[in-house]
Amino acid sequence: MREAKIERTTAETQIALRLNLDGMGQSRVNTGVGFLDHMLTLFARHGRFDLEVTCHGDTQVDDHHTVEDVGIVMGEALCEALGEKRGIRRYGSMLLPMDEALVLCALDLSGRGLLRMQAQIPVEKIGTFDTQLVEEFFWALARRAGVTLHIRQMDGTNAHHIVEAMFKAFGRALSEAVERDARLGDEIPSTKGVLT
């Protein structure tokens, strides 16, 4: 079972997170940020990951610390659950339509954390959620997990659809990348012999 449980406490957030890469898409998410809960639930369902997250954050200030710190802890959990990354496909990609929105997500579990995100989210808020935090979440996760992550909005005018397509595409692409490749056996998929 490729699974990790992480707990992290700072002056701004208290987070407990469990991630199972070989799950069924089940989730229990309560971060105190409703829109983030919705996105993480979609990520888990479409990636077929089991995910449990609770966060108590300083949302009376704003949602920034909660969103970023959940990204950090998810990145740590992904890194721990993958271990040496033996026998995985390593790369994953998805071009995902969500009504009028179209988002490309491509990633490499390279050990080198990087985000390249090109998107034009047409509003600053989705409900009470600050849309700038979408990029903060993916940056935090990519850095901590060591994922080279590209997200590109190809089309779309509805902010909710655009962001939803990003999280679904990320789930699908990550699911492909962490999948075991029988041809590799126990090999690490790198000519260097390590993915760190």
- Per the structure, the complete domain to which residue 83 belongs is given by 3-178
- What's the pTM value of the predicted model, to 2 decimals? 0.95
* Domain total of the chain: 1
CB 172 within 8 A of CB 94: yes
Check whether 195 has a pLDDT greater than 70. no
Determine what percent of the chain is predicted with pLDDT higher than 70.
96
**Would residue 191 count as lying in a domain?**
no
For residue 10, what pLDDT is reported? Answer: 97
Q: Is residue 82 part of a domain?
A: yes
Flag whether 190 is in a domain. Answer: no
The whole-number pLDDT of residue 104 equals: 98
pLDDT tens-digit series, residues 80-120: 999 989 889 999 999 999 999 999 999 999 999 999 999 99
Whether 196 has a pLDDT exceeding 90, the answer reads: no
Q: Is residue 18 part of a domain?
A: yes
* CATH code: domain of residue 78: 3.30.230.40
pLDDT at 192 over 90: no
The answer to the question of residue 48 being in a domain is yes
Is 184 inside any structural domain? Answer: no
Q: Is residue 192 part of a domain?
A: no
Task: Give one DSSP letter per residue of 96-155, joined into a string.
Answer: EEETTEEEEEEEE--S--EEEEE---S-SEETTEETHHHHHHHHHHHHHHT-EEEEEEEE
- Is residue 188 situated within a structural domain? no
